[in-house]
Chains A and B, each alone.
Chain A
Amino acid sequence: MSATLPVTLTVNGETLTRLVEPRETLADFLRRDLGLTGTHAGCEMGVCGACLVMLDGLPVHACLTFAVQAAGTEIATVEGLTESTVIADLQRAFHERNALQCGFCTPGMLIAAQGLLARLPLPSRAEIRDALSGNYCRCTGYEAIVDAIETVARRRAAGETAPRFAEEPA
């Protein structure tokens, strides 16, 4: 076992320092050390997209980055993006359109979608599919996810904002 190193980074707006083993991925760091389990770990080799987080504002795979490499960066996880309500409209649209079933892929899908719309505010359906090419969903068949993202792109273009996302009472 190699020595731990102190790492300082900003997660969801809070700057913190922790001792980490160099081999610990950012995904494991977020989930185990910080208890932020919204970042999912699936394949742990860059294929499924469940582990996407924003690193300095761009989607990256938390399983393909060691926590030590993230020193000095700003990370936003699905928890932080939920808290700040920037993805409230995406969450609402996913909910309305049943774009999630088990929900395992959803944090990654939301972050991929947010990254896409930041680059390309009104993507075509083909461009949406292309942007999701690294995100696997084993439940929905993708169609509903593409619909939800398309809806949000249109709503944002029309200047609509969504209230904070909260689960409806059963």
Chain B
Amino acid sequence: MKARAFDYARPASIAKALAAFAEADGDASYIAGGQSLVPALALRLQAPARLVDIGHIAELRGIAVEAGWLRLGALTRHVDAHDHPLIAAHAPLLALAAPHVAHPAIRNRGTLGGSVALADPASEFPAMMLAMGAEMEIAGPDGTRRVPADAFFVDLYQTALEPGELLVALHIPVARPEHRCAFDEIARRRGDYALVGCGIRLAMSGDVVEEARIALLSVGPTPVRAHAAEATLTGATLDPDAIRHAQAALMDDLDPVDTPEVPAAMRRHLARVLLGRLLAQIAEAA
């Protein structure tokens, strides 16, 4: 239960971090909060020759609103999602999801960038990036680029990040007054990874849905956008009928696999129940 030996670099800039990674000929890992990586090293699921600690790079920090986008530096911690007033105001889905992510001490160190880069399909924040239509800012040897969440999560633990690239910031379109958001998950115990989780952002005009974004976690190899359910809601009055139609359509969006503890049919059922609850919650509040 101890990590294999590695050497350690603590660069002070993105450029130096990219160089420190490149020097290791591919046998390196970035470490941010370490809340997923350290257990993986302790269990020797991973054993890189070098750790590049990005925790002290000022360019990866900061929470600010610029021209309609909330920029969250990759090092923004889970606890900031929980507590920071700019996040509560402009990215309410992150604030709603944060209390469900792990436990308080892990939230004190875990970073949003680490969670999104890892892309665990059972994680809350990656799915919320989909629900909010976020864009990921990535730095690599050839400069920086922005990738929309819909193109970022590629497969199980696989993202648009190429080996050695750094996630610099998450850019989130700021919530508009007509947005209604809801998040919840079903887990065996608080802080456990969810059996199913769901985040919703609806743009409402009165009780009519003008735009819907729905993302689920723990239902496939990546966080999953519920396109069919979104389509039935768009233009509909948010009433019990519309909710039932969305729940039925959701079944076309999901194709979870059977796991020893959770049969696929149970996950689909839980997802359906959860979507119904969340939509009813938004309808009631309207």
Interface residues of A (CB under 8 A from B): 1-3, 5, 21-23, 25, 28, 44-46, 49, 52, 55, 58-61, 63-66, 68-69, 71, 112, 115-116, 129-131, 133-135
Decide yes or no: A46 and B106 within 8 Å by CB, A2-B5, A22-B5 being known contacts. Answer: yes
Contact B5 A60, beta carbon cutoff 8 Å: no
Residues of B within 8 A of A68 (CB): 8, 10, 53
Q: Could you tell me the distance between the alpha carbons of A25 and B41 in the complex, rounded to whole angstroms? A: 11
Contact A46 B1, beta carbon cutoff 8 Å: no
List 21 contacting pairs A-B, 8 Å CB cutoff, sorted by A.
Answer: A22-B7, A23-B3, A23-B6, A25-B42, A44-B2, A45-B1, A46-B39, A52-B105, A58-B105, A60-B105, A60-B108, A60-B109, A61-B35, A64-B109, A66-B8, A69-B34, A69-B55, A115-B105, A131-B104, A134-B104, A134-B106
Contact B5 A1, beta carbon cutoff 8 Å: yes
* Residue of chain A at shortest CB distance from B49: A2
Residues of B within 8 A of A131 (CB): 104
Contact with A along B17-43 (1 / 0, CB 8 A): 000000000000001001100110111
Residues of A within 8 A of B79 (CB): 58
CB distance from B72 to the nearest CB of A (A): 19
Residues of A within 8 A of B3 (CB): 23
Interface centre among B103, B106, B109, B189 (most CB of A within 10 A): B103
Decide yes or no: A22 and B39 within 8 Å by CB, A64-B106, A134-B191 being known contacts. Answer: no
Contact B105 A49, beta carbon cutoff 8 Å: yes
* Residue of chain A at shortest CB distance from B110: A64
Decide yes or no: A116 and B104 within 8 Å by CB, A2-B6, A133-B191 being known contacts. Answer: yes
CB distance from A66 to the nearest CB of B (A): 7
CB distance from A49 to the nearest CB of B (A): 7
Contact A65 B104, beta carbon cutoff 8 Å: no
Residues of B within 8 A of A21 (CB): 5
- A49-B103, A134-B105 provided; 20 other pairs, C-beta below 8 A? A3-B7, A5-B8, A22-B5, A23-B2, A23-B3, A44-B1, A46-B39, A55-B108, A59-B108, A61-B35, A61-B109, A65-B38, A66-B34, A66-B51, A69-B55, A115-B105, A116-B104, A129-B190, A131-B104, A133-B190
CB distance from A46 to the nearest CB of B (A): 5
Complex interface residues of chain B between 49 and 89 (CB less than 8 A to chain A): 51, 53, 55, 79
Residues of B within 8 A of A115 (CB): 104-105, 108
The 10 closest A-B pairs by CB, nearest first: A134-B103, A22-B8, A133-B191, A45-B39, A58-B108, A23-B3, A2-B5, A59-B105, A64-B38, A133-B190
Residues of A within 8 A of B270 (CB): none
Residue in B6, B43, B102, B105 whose CB lies within 8 Å of A22: B6
Residues of B within 8 A of A25 (CB): 2, 38, 42
Residue in B38, B53, B102 whose CB lies within 8 Å of A63: B38
CB distance from B6 to the nearest CB of A (A): 6
Count, chain B residues at interface, CB 8 A: 32
Q: Could you tell me the distance between the alpha carbons of A45 and B42 in the complex, rounded to whole angstroms? A: 7
Residues of A within 8 A of B5 (CB): 1-2, 21-23
Is B176 an interface residue when CB atoms closer than 8 A count as contact?
A: no
CB distance from A115 to the nearest CB of B (A): 6
Contact B51 A22, beta carbon cutoff 8 Å: yes
Q: Could you tell me the distance between the alpha carbons of A67 and B146 in the complex, rounded to whole angstroms? A: 34
Q: Could you tell me the distance between the alpha carbons of A68 and B51 in the complex, rounded to whole angstroms? A: 11
Contact A61 B6, beta carbon cutoff 8 Å: no
Is B269 an interface residue when CB atoms closer than 8 A count as contact?
A: no
CB distance from A167 to the nearest CB of B (A): 27
Complex interface residues of chain B between 93 and 113 (CB less than 8 A to chain A): 99, 102-106, 108-109
Q: Could you tell me the distance between the alpha carbons of A123 and B103 in the complex, rounded to whole angstroms? A: 16
Residues of A within 8 A of B245 (CB): none
Residues of B within 8 A of A44 (CB): 1-2, 42
CB distance from B25 to the nearest CB of A (A): 16
* Residue of chain A at shortest CB distance from B3: A23
Residues of A within 8 A of B145 (CB): none
